Structure 1
Amino acid sequence: MAEKKAAKDFEKKISKPKMLKIAKNILKNKKLCLNCLGRQFGMISTGLTNRERGIIITKILYKNSFKEPSKCDACGGIFKNLGKIAEKAVKKLKDFEFETFVVGTKLSDDIVMKEESLWEYSDTDYAEPIKSEINRELGKLIEKKTHKKSNEEKPDITIIFDLRKNEIFFETAPLYIYGRYNKLVRGIPQTKWDMYKETVEDIIAKPFMKATRGKAHALHATGREDIDAKCFAWRPFVLEINQPKKRKIDLKKIADEINRSKKVVVKDLRFSDKKEVVEIKTKKPNKTYRVLVEFEKPVENIEIVKKIIGVIDQRTPKRVLHRRADKIRRKRVKNIRWKRINDKKYEFEITGEAGLYIKELVSGDDGRTKPSIAELLNNPAKVKELDVIKIHIPDRLKR
């Protein structure tokens, strides 16, 4: 019913003398297939394909005597071969898991020039670009053959038809996995570092890459612990997997595999999105650390370390000066507690703002951090062990 109404509406509009004159002029000088003819008037109405528009135009002009040319002067026969082109893509798509897709095309310069020449010659203001029609019609064919949905806003896969070379390429949308991790061993960095063979990211990503057959990965986390620090705070992260072929994966099975490494353990795995990556990276929560400190001399008057609570001026530590700007940062120590191990060794629990350098808070870093625990006690101090034990993320920021 709607299609008949759309056809009548188009027939009424195209029957105007101005429109018929344009159509006659085009067909007098160009051999066009029905798709390319109808496309010159594609912006006039909705509810019809360009081929259906072409049929209506030729019936008005030639009754039933119009014969479609074997080769179109505009598309060169592309529309006649769309079924075969789509079938070729469908066969290759069997290697991918997806629910939504979008189609893109690359056309030869010759086709583009022919289209622009036709527009200039016909003087039509109602034409739809050929690329738009090809994308749409290929999309319809692929939808029908795969039972998947075309979705320009959020496609799982982009199908690129390079009609210049008769090739098809596929670009899959990244897969995002949210989770939280603990690092149980010292000596491994969170992300890639040339000096280290293994990273937290690698340990987490390995089973995901195997399951998804992705090409690359990136770990986005709420901060990072030092290489020689452990993390028992269940640090939030999102793992981004690029160009995955498989999207339906067993997160519980993957978590079990990661946890068997006994170096990193994960929990709360779930599918995520790019928006959460931004949230993860922009959160700046307070953190609590367990710090085992060894002093040069026996400690006297330990209570004085309470004065560390408050604002700290930290000049960029010497150990990171090669990769960070040399400037003073003001950070706040929120709380400090301690437990005596012996005269020269204490275990501290320190809560501070994100970005507070704990090792330098203890040692003073040759006066670059003020005040420091070493300065307050007038006793050189060194961190022997450092663990992140809590990341203070407000409930409203937790998903």
Structure 2
Amino acid sequence: MTNQKIVPIANQILKKYDLCDNCLGRLFSKQLHLSSNKLLGKKLKKNSKSTQRCYICKNLFDNLNYFLNMMLDSASSYSYFSFSVGAIIKPSIIDRDDTIRSKFKLKGIDGIKTDITKELGKLFSRKTKKTFDYLDPEIVFTVNLKEESCDIRSKSLTLSGRYVKSVRGFPQKQKSCTNCSGKGCRICDFHGITEYDSVEGEISQFLFEKLGGTTAKFTWIGGEDKSSLILGTGRPFFVKIQNPHKRNLRAKSANLEHVEVRNLKIVSDSPKKPLKFNSLVEAKISASSKIDSNLLRKLKTLTENPIVVYEKSGKRSEKRILSIKYKKHDDVSFTLFFKFEGGLPVKRFVTGDDVSPGISQIIGVSCKCLEFDFHDVEVK
């Protein structure tokens, strides 16, 4: 469409409707490959001055600074480089816009909502020197022009690290908030948890203090008993923080009350598939009757064939014992040092409960694991 074709249509529209520069310019700027709707609208109106409110937007574009200030306020506690803007506007504005577009057969035009978000994006970018990014912004504004409010969400942040636990009786996983089942509500301050009395809780609390954010979703590389210690280089984990305020973590390690966190770093994402890993464990075992060294020697055969693990769900898996050593203490107790493929349930492996062969089967004496500690967890 050329200028000569556009001017008569613009004049026809202006005869019937009062439009602001932005709304008039938007109806034709795409066909003319122009970036400023306002400038085009001004040119098309020339001598046509109107004191009426714009038929489509009711002079909404004159008040965008009011909403810009809302955006600046809501973003003041966030650190970010890129942003995008969404808008909620009155349906009546969209209806009036559609009426004109259909009446004058105007096609392939940005809707008014798109124009409002573009204008807010330009204003915000100019003011903050941040980049407007449609595809992968670090923060997203939803400006509600209907209710005069502004909501802000930031892109989640994923971290990896390891933790060492040198006290017994401290669980790995945290119980969810009973009110929202971990989704986040006012009672739990939108964290999904109300207590911080676990490895998950302590690390979450530390990260909320450093980065802000609402919920923390953990991906564990293996699990342990409440009574187990995690020694050596620690157990690896990934954690995704939803809606963080900061995107930079200076602390690479932290000594918390019950756990020590090491090697904390920001990564692109949590693993999509479960990671394969090996664990080196020390298990204290008691037997129901006397065992001699000849019986214990049979344990060496456990490295020869895979151990079959049956779950209640009917799932079956195979795990290999990579190395095994033992130390006898007296007639009814010994310690086992063994390295195995991650996912082997240690206590069930000792009793032989749906794990075949188990320690009890191999030595022919009923055994029980009193406690077990992890000396190393290596990711393959």
Q: By the TM > 0.5 criterion, same fold?
A: yes
CA distance in 1, matches of 2:89, 2:30: 21
Identity of aligned residues (%): 26
Q: Does 1:266 align with 2:261?
A: yes
Report the aligned-residue RMSD. 2.3
Answer whether contact 2:196 2:205 (CA < 8 A) is retained: no
Name the counterpart of 2:148: 166
Name the counterpart of 1:212: 211
Name the counterpart of 1:236: 236
Answer whether contact 2:18 2:52 (CA < 8 A) is retained: no
Shift of residue 142 of structure 1? 0.9
Q: In terms of mean alpha carbon deviation, does 113-122 or 150-159 score higher?
A: 150-159
Equivalent residue pairs, number: 359
Name the counterpart of 1:42: 29
Going by fraction, where is helix more abundant, 1 or 2? 1
TM-score in terms of structure 1 length: 0.83
Answer whether contact 2:53 2:59 (CA < 8 A) is retained: yes
Name the counterpart of 1:349: 337
CA distance in 2, matches of 1:94, 1:260: 29
TM-score in terms of structure 2 length: 0.87
Q: In terms of mean alpha carbon deviation, does 137-146 or 300-309 score higher?
A: 300-309
Name the counterpart of 1:289: 281
CA distance in 2, matches of 1:126, 1:22: 16
In structure 2, which of residues 359, 362, 372 is the aligned counterpart of residue 373 of structure 1? 359
1:312-323 correspondence to structure 2 within 5 Å: 312-316=307-311
Answer whether contact 2:249 2:265 (CA < 8 A) is retained: no
Answer whether contact 2:278 2:340 (CA < 8 A) is retained: yes
Q: Structure 1 residues 79, 205: closer, same or farther in 2, change over 3 A?
A: same
Answer whether contact 1:201 1:218 (CA < 8 A) is retained: no
Answer whether contact 1:41 1:126 (CA < 8 A) is retained: no
Q: Structure 1 residues 111, 204: closer, same or farther in 2, change over 3 A?
A: same
Name the counterpart of 1:392: 378
Q: Does 1:336 align with 2:324?
A: yes
Q: Which sections of structure 1, spanning at least 5 residues, go unmatched?
A: 1-12, 59-63, 395-399
CA distance in 2, matches of 1:173, 1:223: 27
Shift of residue 158 of structure 1? 1.2
Amino acid at match of 2:288: E
CA distance in 2, matches of 1:183, 1:326: 33
Amino acid at match of 1:191: K
Q: Which sections of structure 2, spanning at least 5 residues, go unmatched?
A: 179-194
Shift of residue 92 of structure 1? 3.4
CA distance in 2, matches of 1:54, 1:268: 57
1:95-244 correspondence to structure 2 within 5 Å: 95-193=77-175, 198-232=197-231, 233-244=233-244
Name the counterpart of 2:368: 382
CA distance in 1, matches of 2:217, 2:325: 36
- Structure 1 segments of 4+ aligned residues over 4 angstroms from their partners: 194-197
Shift of residue 162 of structure 1? 0.3
SS for the counterpart of 2:143 is: strand
Amino acid at match of 2:69: E
